[in-house]
Structure 1
Amino acid sequence: MKSDGEIMEILEAYDLTKSFRAAAVLAGCSHHTVAKHVAAREAGKPMAEPVAREKITDEYLPKIEELVDKTRGRIRADVAHQKLVGMGFEGSERSTRRAMAQVKDAWKLGRVRVHRPWVTEPGGWLQYDFGDGPSIGGVKTVLFVAWLAWSRFRIVIALRDRTAPSVFAALDRCFRIIGGAPVYILTDNEKTVTVSHVAGVPVRNLQTVDFARYYGVTVLTCQPADPASKGGVENAVKVAKADLVPKDTNLRTEYGSFAELEQACQEFMAHINTREHRSTKRIPAAMLTEEVLRLHRVPADAHTVSFGLARTVPPNTPMVTFNNAMYSVPSHLLGQRVFVRSHGTGPDEKVVIVHHGPAGPVEVARHGRARPGSPAINDEHFPGYLEKIPGDYTPRARTGAEAEFLAIGGGAVAWLKEAAAVGTSRINVKMAEAVSLAKIAGVIDVDRALGTAAIHGRFAHGDLSSILQAGRANITTHAANEDTSLTQGTGAWAAITTISNEVKP
């Protein structure tokens, strides 16, 4: 087949010579070729159009089209090939695959779904969705991701579950972060929003309706498989998970606590909202300053009906009572109001405590179900607390004499505890004696002697001096060697004999 350039040369040669043979000599081809292209030009037909060749699959195309249409384009080529072989097809599987690909492309071409871009206005739409967060201490977390459709401002909040109170608390925090509430809130058809469908119409959850009425917003659910309206927040979830969930690709280490995950979410929002968005070519934080003028005001107090029962933390004990049992809260909430609710049933039941602060409602504690008389306590809620054990007393000096005695050391402390436990009399006099001995014999030796007296229970008058003298006595040791022996000699007997002879008359 001639190329386009060769065809133009052939036609040009014919236009110059008006002879098939002369043009063939100039173009270097057969005069029959020149005649064919000249005739095609005169007839107004496309030149150099490839001639369709018969294929071995042409006879079976109606069956292939039937299979593709019946399975809505999902049938595999190898399955179709087996059916064609059963009908007498003698071609290869490769031929079947080529024919299947052409038929599928033609079938899909007439059924392509056309998406119209979703044009939003400032202050109109806030979308939210969820993503699987990292596991902390073996417990899975949830990433709540919200997205303002016009400004592309993104909010990521770490949650411990996807229950209605947690979602409402997250939405309240979103409103306070962006500085207002939009007209519409768009999300999926979850149980927290939609309880059922009747004839394709979603039936709203009463708690969601109450929440929406309180904040003056309208909660809507998106149409199934509608990326034009909800694709933005789904993409935001994908980006948040890629950055916040520890993976080999982002080099993030495991989180040690839930507070670390919350801090990572704050850093992620600060980063992603201050860089240029690829669609708008503007910074989302800058666009939010324009959109906030179209948002309506958020109530000063959060919607607390679904958060649970209100409780006031005592001013000196960070504990609250719920269903006749007590649960601890962080110590910085002393005197504050919190909301307590239960979540789950059976062994997995949890008691969730929420505090509403300037930034919105925040979950501050989560305990297992406690029994009356057996409070649920988290040691982290009592910083600096020292457990007091009966019988384990810590001596504290109240007078100068007591301070001098306790300053001797650990032996003095042990002596005082043991002496007091056995009811030793005149302890103050003996303590003063120990202080005087320490000035004479040294603090180290007296402290050691007091420790020895505490161990052996010697608290009588003079025991301390005796122990001190015994410890300071020089003890002569004897050792056998090549020149001396440990065997007793007769020198002592000789001395006795000598004395006896001297006293004779």
Structure 2
Amino acid sequence: MDILEAFDLTRCAHSAAELAGVDEKTVARYVAIRDAGGDPFTPARRARGIDPFLGKIEELVANSQGRVRADVVHQRLVAMGFTGTDRTTRRAVAEAKAAWKAGHRRKYRPWTPEPGMWMQFDWGEGPRVGGRRTQLFCAWLSWSRFRVVLPAWDQTLGTLVSCVDATLRRIGGAPTYLLTDNPRTVTMDRVAGVPVRHPEIVAAGRYYGCKVETCEPFDPESKGGAEHTVKIAKADLVPTTANLLPAYSTFADLADACVEWCERVNARTHRETGAAPDVRLATELQHLHVLPAEPHAIALGEERLVDDDQTIRFGSVRYSTPDGHQGSKVWARVTGDELVIVGDTTAGLTEIARHVLSTPGSPRIDDAHYPHHPGGNLPRPPKVRARTPEEVAFLALGEGARRWLVEAAATGVTRIRVKMARAVELAAILDAGRVDDALGLAAIAGRFAEDDLASILDHLTSSGPPSDVVVADEAHSAQPGTSGWEVFGQ
């Protein structure tokens, strides 16, 4: 500044140099930089060996729209005679990409949604349940930021409409527009850039009073709200090494986790709006359309009535359903080689069962649907129910008494009631717990004779609990055999 001030005062480089105490050439250089609009403190750029190739680098970056890799550019330059290192090429390519992106940067405009206008939804890859892939249906109400995540097995049209129906019923109304990307279930084709809607999804949207819109192909930024919902839902629900979540054992566990996640994020204050989505949803509900009483037929399939044995008939084949739907209506639809059963639950219309399609005479019964019944076709164990005072007194001794009764009855023991009365008398004299333990050992060893119980009690008193139990077998003899004489004389 002293040099420039001296020059402005004298208008002579020689005189300004004498006043500032510098060389005359220095004054001339600084004045020339200032007159050209430059910064005198910026060092001059030195010539580099890659300068003759900068035009080619800019050409490659422009043709690839900023996507070309630096190693590919370096190979091209080496073939053209460049002798520098790949490090020099990487720096030059990075500068060229930064300059190209600065001139081609996408322009954004803040979007201010209106209440009751837009809902965005998208699919995300869910966790594996039992080794099988799942999908996460993620929806986002744009104004209130209310999020809904539903698990599903696939992305078929019936599943899509079913998830949309469940989402709208959880929200409590339908918006004007539904925005998503361009899967085949929504957009069948594009003619001259115009999306051709799937007629079934159009009918479903008309049924709910919504118009289905799609974003630009391969442009997820045009529906960023749903994309962000998918991202944070997968980060919190899909087990990874980052969140250390355990694997889901059943599909119901995944559904419960999704409900818990939605409750948590919708009750949390949103950074953009400064209010919880649950609070803003109460305001947005005033601008939503009323939902029809029944879901659309695509989302459901064919109506069936659940029998008392928790099964439905589809194609003359019985398929089981979970407990709690007896006597109620469910809906079944075929998806690929599977039958999907949808029921009306507290969370809305959700998938309650899924079976591989079968043929008449081969029912599909899932034992998990009958937790109150033992699986398989084996004989059922008898249910022990006391009916007389004597039976009540005997079974009150404990689990050993119940086991003794079941085993003794199965082996055809006589005078069971007399032996039960004898056990009750011994329990009154001795400790009831000891008698119950002795009855349990007698049941395991198969000893049901008249004096076996007293003998076992004497043994427990003198020797304590046995380390092992020998099961009585009338076909076995303790008499030593004569096999040892076979080697005599050899």
TM-score, normalised on structure 1? Answer: 0.74
Matches within 5 A, 1:1-16: 8-14=1-7
Aligned to 1:503: none
Structure 1 position 159 matched with structure 2 position 157: no
1:144–1:156 contact (8 Å) kept in structure 2: yes
Return closer, same or farther for 1:333/1:21 CA change in 2, 3 Å cut-off: same
Q: Which residue of 2 aligns with 1:372?
A: 360
| Number of the residue aligned with 2:328 | 336
Displacement after TM superposition at 1:274 (Å): 2.2
* Aligned position for 1:322: 314
Instruction: Measure how far apart 1:238 and its partner are.
Output: 0.5
**Which of the numbers 236, 240, 261 marks the counterpart of 1:247?**
240
Percent identity among equivalent residues? Answer: 44
Paired residues for 1:433-448 under 5 Å: 434=419
State how far apart, in whole Å, the 2-side matches of 1:73 and 1:416 are.
85
Whether the 8 Å contact between 1:302 and 1:356 is mirrored in structure 2 is no
Q: Is residue 406–residue 413 contact of structure 1 (8 Å, CA) maintained in 2?
A: no
* 1:346-368 Cα distance to aligned partner (Å, 9 max, x none): xxx22211112454211111122
What secondary structure, in the 3-state scheme, does the structure 2 residue paired with 1:136 have?
Answer: coil
Question: How far apart are the structure 2 equivalents of 1:63 and 1:358?
Answer: 65
Partner of 1:461: none
Match of 1:360 in 2: 348
Structure with larger Rg: 1
- Residues 174-219 of structure 1 deviation map (CA, whole Å, 9 limit, x = unaligned): 1112110001111111122122333333322232122112111111
CA distance in structure 2 between the aligned counterparts of 1:379 and 1:75, rounded to whole angstroms: 57
User: Secondary structure of the residue that 2:324 maps to in structure 1?
Assistant: helix
SS in 1 for 2:228: helix
Tell me how far apart the structure 1 counterparts of residues 251 and 64 of structure 2 sit (CA, whole Å).
49
Query: Structure 1 pair 14/359, CA: closer, same or farther in 2 (3 Å)?
Result: closer
Deviates more, 1:53-62 or 1:325-334: 53-62
- State yes or no: 1:383 paired with 2:376: no
Match of 1:114 among 107, 110, 114: 107
Q: Is 1:207–1:306's contact at 8 Å kept on the other side of the alignment?
A: no
Equivalents in 1 of 2:163, 2:188: separation in Å?
Answer: 20
Q: Quick one: structure 1 residues 20 and 169, their matched pair in 2 at CA, closer, same or farther if it must change by over 3 Å?
A: closer
Structure 1: which amino acid aligns with 2:324? H
Decide whether the 8 Å contact of 2:393 with 2:424 is kept in 1.
no
What is the DSSP-based 3-state SS (H/G/I as helix, E as strand, rest coil) of the residue aligned with 1:139? coil
Mapping for residues 135-284 of structure 1, pairs under 5 Å? 135-284=128-277
- Counterpart CA distance in 2 for 1:468 and 1:44 is 116
Give the Cα–Cα distance (whole angstroms) in 2 for the partners of residues 281 and 110 of structure 1: 35
- 2-side partners of 1:318 and 1:97: how far apart? 67
> Gaps spanning 5+ residues in structure 1: where?
1-7, 421-426, 459-463, 474-505
Distance 1:11 1:407 in 2: 110
**Aligned equivalents of 2:21 and 2:259: distance in 1?**
76
Q: CA deviation at 1:20?
A: 5.4
- Secondary structure of 1:134's counterpart equals coil
Q: Is the CA contact (8 Å cut-off) linking 1:118 and 1:229 kept in structure 2?
A: no
Whether contact under 8 Å (2:157, 2:298) holds in the other structure is: no
Give the structure 1 partner of residue 118 of structure 2: 125
> Does the 8 Å CA contact 2:182/2:217 hold for their aligned counterparts?
no
- What is the CA distance between 1:338 and its match in structure 2? 0.6
1:497 aligns to what? none
- Give me the whole-angstrom Cα distance separating, in 2, the residues matched to 1:227 and 1:337: 39
State the number of aligned residues. Answer: 443
Q: Given the superposition, is the C-alpha separation of residues 138 and 67 from structure 1 closer, same or farther in structure 2, using an over 3 Å criterion?
A: closer
CA shift for structure 1 position 326:
0.8
Tell me if structure 2 keeps the 8 A contact 1:405–1:412. Answer: no
After TM superposition, give the deviation of residue 24 of structure 1 in Å.
3.2
Q: CA deviation at 1:220?
A: 1.6
How big is the shift at 1:297? 0.3
**Matched-pair contact (CA < 8 Å) for 2:17–2:24:** yes
In structure 2, the partner of 1:312 is 305
The alpha-carbon distance between structure 1 residues 332 and 251, as it changes in their structure 2 partners (threshold 3 A), is same
Pairwise CA RMSD:
3.9
Query: 1:92 and 1:253 mapped to 2: Cα distance?
Result: 48
Contact 1:181–1:296 under 8 Å retained in 2? yes
Q: Counterpart of 2:27?
A: 34
Deviates more, 1:287-296 or 1:194-203: 194-203
Q: In 2, Cα distance between the equivalents of 1:25 and 1:239?
A: 68
Which digits, 9 at most, give the CA deviation of each residue in 1:282-330, with x for residues without a partner? Answer: 322222122111100011222234422111112x321111111111112
Rounded Cα–Cα distance in structure 2 between residues aligned with 1:122 and 1:360: 24
CA separation of 1:75 and 1:36: change in aligned 2, threshold 3 A: closer
SS in 2 for 1:332: coil
Alpha-carbon distance between aligned partners in 2 of 1:432 and 1:33, rounded to the nearest angstrom: 124
TM-score computed with the length of structure 2 as normaliser? 0.76
Query: 1:136 offset after TM fit, Å?
Result: 1.7
